[in-house]
Structure 1
């Protein structure tokens, strides 16, 4: 892959790091919003190469991790029903609910299938008209357009045995909630490039001005992240708080108009609960009234399921950037990828999974 070589060049990385060290005069704390960025930072040791006092705070940008426990339990209840084909991306199958996960449902006879696109689930519904097919639609603004288009097509084609279990969340309200927390230490943000490739950058200037924080849109390769950090530190040192696009090869200020139009047609903004964080007003999407017939939560009457988080799992504090994963008492002990207490240890974008996979277990042993 061309970009994997170009954006991982060690000589260019060293130049960026030299510039970051040269301009840094005091400690700074910045949050990378996206879990994919967290994994790149930990895998490449970027956080350990930064100047002393420049801290990367890992944010809540892992869609699997912030999916509420009660939504997982709703998915499990639907998947266990006779006559249901429950479709999901693979990273949701091992996310623990209150008592079990989707793999456990599959092991006792539930028809749980891994698909690579929501359109695959729609095709399954077309092929099985006598069964109910449900797709587990989670994620940020990145995955929402494909899910919206699938519901749009289901209605247009008259496929009535398809529905969507929706748990979509939005980044800008989460940034506002983080900044308004009394425990907030965040002084700047690296915004998620893939979210901005859909939604553009139009929502961020007001946030940067209101909270007086730099927001730099950043990609996911090592040089992308280092360039984002370099721009962020320069803003902080200069006392500026602006929105910068450090990912222009994928992000335009206006975003993707076609995707945004589809989202506006199929979804409407709603309050959403984030796992480990709580309810953030106006931070999610639900199906609009025109497409309410395709809402799996209503179709299967699971709206009254409510749950409580495990007392051992500190993933909420990890997602808010209050602690690092290795500072959780259960990390690497009661909670491992094989026996996870929370989604942050299971998801391919989870901070706990990154720390467990990329050498941070020695921090646990040293405690």
Structure 2
């Protein structure tokens, strides 16, 4: 297959669905880890086309959503200071902190700029040596190599007025934490293909073996996801728990060696807090000692800043797959994309945003907003 349209072919989708329906003999629950996959699932109604026995629940696959509140507040504090140019990808500007967001900082006179690459921020620092330029480095393993490259280039060229506020997280430790949670229902994972394109698949066999769960590396188009589900269902029905690569056009076992070398040189593994989940050991990166001078947290002395999460927003439960977005009492009422309570409603990859955008507004029958009653009513929709 060479063209995107071929990954949306309804005839091929029906064949995959027929195989899944013919294979399933008992209930199975699987989690997609990537927010991009979540949006594709909801947009195309894939969860509604699957057999009623197969439930897809949404994991912590949106990097904007899992960035902790205290890190957002640190960004706001730094961006508000005179002489600072604060650079970020656009999806971070409306993520609410304790009292405001980056748009409000910009509206109050802060020099907040949207960039498309950390190297754009580095170029601003090169052209404006009188300013302190900070890039907000958020993301999973996918965006980390470019951020590492920006720091590497800053040191190589002697650009001292550049720093990075790092909030990078790693997927395998999050999967480990989900499986160890007391109320975990996950029996298989659809792993994020873009993460594996960088890091490879070496960390997943151990996870699959320890927790007896199939892990299928999956892409983002409808047929990618259906093929991932199909392979996971076949493993579950046979009692297997292997790692399978259903995204070979982008993923190799070793990942991207050059990107991994850059990460190893610039970053070191650290414990990291995930919004709504808490601290997961070894789940993040920070700048290594050799590059610590480019760490914005230390440069601007905001390392001790703390914050308290909203008691109304239940995004933490959404991110852990404990509830669906429309099972939260605030969903679509006091929490909307225009007035979000949490990052899962703001981010372009957030599960709450996906449910609101594609009109999954009704609360599942039998829920009160406080408990999980399973998947939503399945309707006849079409892929393609």
Whole-Å Cα distance in 2 between the matches of residues 132 and 365 of structure 1?
53
- Does the Cα contact within 8 Å between 1:67 and 1:274 map onto a contact in 2? yes
Q: Is 1:50 the counterpart of 2:50 in the alignment? A: yes
Matches within 5 A, 1:280-291: 280-291=280-291
- Specify the alignment match of 2:374 in structure 1: none
SS state of the match for residue 290, structure 1?
A: helix
Any stretches of 5+ residues in structure 2 without a counterpart? Answer: 369-384
- Residue of structure 1 in register with 2:322 after alignment: 322
Distance in 1, Cα, partners of 2:184 & 2:36: 22
Partner of 1:199: 199
Give a deviation string over 1:180-216, Cα, whole Å, max 9, x none.
0001000000000000000000000000000000000
> Against the structure 1 CA distance between its residues 365 and 54, is the aligned structure 2 distance closer, same or farther, given a 3 Å change threshold?
closer
For residue 329 of structure 1, report the CA deviation from its aligned partner.
Answer: 0.8
Confirm or deny that 1:223 pairs with 2:193: no
Cα distance in 2 for partners of 1:364, 1:324 equals 9
- Aligned residue for 1:7, secondary structure, equals helix
Q: Is 1:296 the equivalent of 2:296?
A: yes
Instruction: For 1:45 and 1:139, locate their aligned partners in 2 and report how far apart those are by CA, in whole Å.
Output: 27
Q: CA deviation at 1:221?
A: 0.2
CA drift of 1:359 comes to 1.7
Q: Show the counterpart of 1:359.
A: 359
Provide TM-score, normalisation by structure 2.
0.94
Match of 1:23 in 2: 23
User: Do structure 1's residue 146 and structure 2's residue 111 form an aligned pair?
Assistant: no
Q: Number of aligned residue pairs: give it.
A: 367
**2:32 matched to which residue of 1?**
32
- Partner of residue 4, structure 1: 4
The alignment partner of 1:196 has SS state of: helix
> What does 1:1-367 align with in structure 2 at a 5 Å threshold?
3-363=3-363
Note if contact 1:34-1:61 (Cα within 8 Å) is conserved in structure 2: yes
CA shift digits 1:277-327 (9 cap, x unpaired):
000000000000000000000000011110010001000000000000000
- Looking at structure 2, the residues matched to 64 and 365 of structure 1 have their Cα atoms a distance apart, in angstroms, of 30
Q: CA deviation at 1:4?
A: 2.0
Q: CA shift at 1:362, angstroms?
A: 3.5
| Structure 1, unpaired ranges of 5+ | none
> Per the alignment, in what secondary structure is the counterpart of residue 130 of structure 2?
coil
SS in 2 for 1:133: strand
Note if contact 1:332-1:364 (Cα within 8 Å) is conserved in structure 2. Answer: no
- Partner secondary structure for residue 174 of structure 1: helix
* SS at structure 2 position matched to 1:166: strand
Shift of 1:361: 1.4
Q: CA deviation at 1:3?
A: 3.0
Q: CA deviation at 1:341?
A: 0.3
Residues 96 and 342, structure 1, Cα contact 8 Å, conserved in 2: yes
Cα deviation, residue 2, structure 1:
5.2
TM-score (ref. length: structure 1): 0.99
Q: Residues 77-127 of structure 1: CA distance to partner in whole angstroms, max 9, x if unpaired?
A: 000000000000000000000000000000000000000000000000001
Tell me how large the CA RMSD over aligned residues is. Answer: 1.2
Q: Give, in whole Å, the separation in 2 of the partners of 1:95 and 1:354.
A: 16
Q: Contact 1:16–1:227 at 8 Å: present in 2 too? A: yes
The question of whether the paired residues in 1 share the 8 Å contact of 2:274 and 2:280 is answered with yes
How far apart in 2 are the matches of 1:3 and 1:343? Answer: 33
Do the aligned residues in 2 keep the contact of 1:331 with 1:364 (CA within 8 Å)?
Answer: no
For the 8 Å contact 1:60–1:66, the answer to whether it is kept is: yes
